[in-house]
Amino acid sequence: MADDTTDTKSSNQMWGGRFASGPDAIMEEINASIGFDKKLFAQDIRGSIAHATMLAHQGIITTDDKDKIVHGLNTILSEIESGNFEFSRQLEDIHMNVEARLATLIGPAAGRLHTARSRNDQVALDFRLWVKEELQKTERMLTGLIAAFLDRAEEHAESVMPGFTHLQTAQPVTFGHHCMAYVEMFGRDRSRVRHAIEHLDESPIGAAALAGTGYPIDRHMTAKALGFREPTRNSIDTVSDRDFAIEFLSIAAIAGMHLSRLAEEIVIWSTPQFGFVRLSDAFSTGSSIMPQKKNPDAAELVRAKTGRINGSLVALLTIMKGLPLAYSKDMQEDKEQVFDAAESLELAIAAMTGMVRDMTINTARMKAAAGSGYSTATDLADWLVREAGLPFRDAHHVTGRAVALAESKGCDLAELPLSDLQAIHPDITDKVYDVLTVEASVASRKSFGGTAPSEVRKQIAFWRARN
Cβ-in-10-Å burial (0-12, 13-18, 19+) of 29 comes to middle
* Beta carbon of residue 136, minimum distance to ligand ARG (angstroms, whole number): 22
CB atoms within 10 A of CB 38: 16
Phi, psi of 444 (to 5 degrees): -75, -15
Question: Is 200 or 406 the residue whose CB approaches ligand ARG more closely?
Answer: 200
Instruction: For ligand ARG, give the closer residue by CB, 332 or 459.
Output: 332
Give one DSSP letter per residue of 412-465, joined into a string.
-GGGS-HHHHHHH-TT--GGGGGTSSHHHHHHH--STT-SSHHHHHHHHHHHHH
403 close to 373: Cβ distance less than 8 angstroms: no
Burial of 3 by CB count in 10 Å (0-12 exposed, 13-18 middle, 19+ buried)? Answer: exposed
Look at the alpha carbons of 166, 168, 173, 174 in this order and tell me if their dihedral is positive or negative: positive
- Reduced to 3 states (helix: H, G, I; strand: E, B; else coil), residue 10 is coil
State the nearest-atom distance from the C-beta of 73 to ligand ARG, in Å: 18
Closer residue to ligand ARG in complex, CB, 332/378: 332
Q: Beta strands of 160-226 (E only): which ranges?
A: 160-165, 168-174, 202-203
Handedness of CA 203, 205, 208, 213 (dihedral sign): negative
Which residues sit opposite 295 in a β-bridge? 285
Write out the residues near ligand ARG by the rule CB under 6 A.
Answer: 33, 37, 93, 119-120, 123, 327, 329, 331-332
The nearest distance, CB 337 to ligand ARG, in angstroms, is 12
Phi, psi of 277 (to 5 degrees): -135, 155
Catalytic residue (choose from 166, 288, 408, 447)? 166
**Shortest Cβ distance from residue 28 to ligand ARG (Å)?**
13
Catalytic entry in 21, 78, 191, 287? 287
Residue 150 or 316 with smaller CB distance to ligand ARG: 316
CA torsion sign for 23, 126, 252, 297 is negative
Active site residue 166: yes
Rounded-to-integer distance, Cα 115 and Cα 216, Å: 11
Residue with smaller CB distance to ligand ARG, 102 or 331: 331
Beta carbon nearer to ligand ARG, 96 or 252: 96
Please list the active-site residues.
166, 287
